[in-house]
Structure 1
Amino acid sequence: MQEHWPHPPVRVERRPVGEAESRAANGPDWDRYADEYQATHGEFLGDAGFVWGPEGLTEAQAGMLGDVADRDVLEVGSGAGQCSRWVRTHGGRAFGLDLSHRQLQHSLRLDDQTGVRVPSVLGTATALPFRDASFDVVFCSFGALQFVSDIALAVAETARVLRPGGRFAFSVTHPTRWMFPDDPTEAGLVASQSYWDRTPYVEVDDQTGEVAYVEHHRTLGDWVALLTGAGFAITTLLEPEWPEGHDRLWGGWSAVRGRLTPGTAVVGADLLAGADD
């Protein structure tokens, strides 16, 4: 998710960044951050839990994937495999894919602790290492899509590995959040940049001058065009409200902001028959 504590010190830029540079930055960044992320958020996520975002909306509540029993399911950006582990406890055959080797090590740790094993591979959303029409469901819970430059290729890869009629569901930072500072206090409620400015957010390592982290923004209209252009029919758009009594602080997400403006968008779409012909 978009909370990010840089290691080492960085300077922030807004400039174009391609797929290779994004991948080279974000994989090592998540390797550095994985231990801290799991220590901070592991209890909230659950070892075999499935939440769609910092608001705490669960898959049991949302039902975005439908009945996963006896289904082949791929989680893109699986991290420590919590969501895939939940799918397996509900009868699905879930598999994980992540760009971070350290996150996959945490997945192995949770496999051992829970006894629920999620077969996982190191890989990227733009080159899924699976045959055509291998899965009934592909999902991504804040796991990869915001870190991908060539998002059209990632969506096309999802369509390729899905069977006709297959389900694609994902959550991302709500696109309107791009207008506001990444600040969980009242100061973060003032729009300060254009919603339509798609220039990536970039952190550059002060010591080496190398790109250390990249995040990409798409508008809601961009997502509609991407999905329909790849042969998907959009069925669901959820904008979870901040629950009463939920006091968790997660990067730019907080009760102060969450009571007034959405922080997460959860999208569901079905692959039309013949879309990949």
Structure 2
Amino acid sequence: MDTPAAPPPDLFLADDGYPAPAGVARRPAGSTESVRANRRWWDAAAPAYLAEHGSDLGDVDFLWCPEGLREAEAHLLGEVAGRRVLEVGCGSAPCSRWLRREGADVVAFDLSGGMLARAAELNRATGIDVPLLQADVGALPLASGSVDVACSAFGGLPFVADVEAALAEVARVLRPGGRFVASVNHPMRWPLPDSPDPEDLRVVSSYFDRTPYVETDEDGRAVYVEHHRTVGDWVRAVVGAGLVLDDLLEPEWTPGRTQQWGQWSPARGALVPGTLIVVCGKPA
């Protein structure tokens, strides 16, 4: 599987290295627009994102969420040695390299060529060669029933417009009896300010408003799109894809962990959840 070279950023970058939007809106955004916008954004943002968070993510590690839950302790995927595992939205692929080190046969994919270019560099640096694939979760280039386990650690599902179709694709490639675990932004973060300070905890929008958050360029074109779903929406999407929901986890902040990720912080994490993890399986 060939890994695309990192494309040159075609978005204006702020001093922190992240794309600087010309405007922000709450408006509808479909699958085509969301895919195009988020591929561009992550291609441009990959260096800044990994410079900021790469040390916490590690090169060969499986971090489920900013709260610090790691697969080495959580064992949400079960035994992975000898199993074929698909990582959805792998980014720089530290989770996939960890899985490969644990004996899994791994395939990692991401929408962003920029992220995959860094993943390829880290494959070479670590000596752990994980196959990398550029793909959209809405149309996986894998055979039906070809995967034992699928996972997604904050791997792009909040950016997907049609998450029902995406989960149906994951269910399609899973073998009967297969397992899927995904961590996403907790729906409760949507109506609250994007701040790590507990003093800022106040409801500023409706939890039930599913209108996407869209950042735009000077011409009004979307350059970043994030989609909100309630807890109930996630449950219905999982069940609608033909999967069985085994558990819903809301990880608490790991004691002694001081790392801050955007609005995720120890002080805020002590009060409200920041991550939702769905644990599900495909009926045998």
Q: Which TM-score tier does this pair reach, normalised by the shorter chain?
A: over 0.9
Give the distance between the partners of 1:5 and 1:201, measured in 2 at CA.
21
Amino acid at match of 1:216: H
1:250 alignment partner, one of 261, 267, 270: 261
Which stretch shows the higher mean deviation, 95-104 or 185-194?
185-194
Give the distance between the partners of 2:124 and 2:17, measured in 1 at CA.
28
2:197 alignment partner, one of 185, 190, 193: 185
- C-alpha displacement of 1:10: 2.7
- C-alpha displacement of 1:134: 0.8
User: RMSD across aligned C-alpha pairs, in angstroms?
Assistant: 1.3
1:240 alignment partner, one of 251, 265, 271: 251
Residues 57-108 of structure 1: per-residue CA shift (max 9 Å, x gap) = 0001111110000000000101111001010000001111101001001111
Q: Secondary structure at the match of 1:256?
A: helix
Residues 1:17 and 2:20 are matched in the alignment = no
> Aligned residue for 1:77?
89
- C-alpha displacement of 1:6: 4.6
Matched ranges for 1:80-119 at <5 A: 80-119=92-131
> Aligned residue for 2:142?
130
Give the distance between the partners of 2:21 and 2:241, measured in 1 at CA.
39
Give the distance between the partners of 1:5 and 1:13, measured in 2 at CA.
22
Q: Secondary structure at the match of 2:281?
A: strand
The TM-score, its normalising length taken from structure 2, stands at: 0.92
The TM-score, its normalising length taken from structure 1, stands at: 0.94
Does the C-alpha gap of structure 1 residues 261 and 5 become closer, same or farther in structure 2, counting only changes over 3 Å? farther
Does the C-alpha gap of structure 1 residues 239 and 5 become closer, same or farther in structure 2, counting only changes over 3 Å? farther
Aligned length: 269
> Aligned residue for 1:271?
282
2:67 alignment partner, one of 41, 55, 60: 55
Does the C-alpha gap of structure 1 residues 8 and 179 become closer, same or farther in structure 2, counting only changes over 3 Å? closer
Residues 1:260 and 2:266 are matched in the alignment = no
Give the distance between the partners of 1:252 and 1:16, measured in 2 at CA.
24
Does the C-alpha gap of structure 1 residues 203 and 5 become closer, same or farther in structure 2, counting only changes over 3 Å? farther
Residues 1:225 and 2:236 are matched in the alignment = yes
Amino acid at match of 1:223: W
> Aligned residue for 1:150?
162
- Percent identical among aligned pairs is 50
> Aligned residue for 2:132?
120
Give the distance between the partners of 1:191 and 1:255, measured in 2 at CA.
20
Residues 185-235 of structure 1: per-residue CA shift (max 9 Å, x gap) = 134311111111111011111x23211100001111111111112211111
- Maintained 8 Å contact 1:12/1:204: yes
- Maintained 8 Å contact 1:188/1:257: no
Q: Which runs of 5+ in 1 are unaligned?
A: none
- Maintained 8 Å contact 1:49/1:85: yes
Give the distance between the partners of 1:10 and 1:248, measured in 2 at CA.
30
- Maintained 8 Å contact 1:45/1:82: yes
- Maintained 8 Å contact 1:97/1:122: yes
Structure 1: which 4+ aligned runs deviate by more than 6 Å? none
Residues 1:35 and 2:47 are matched in the alignment = yes
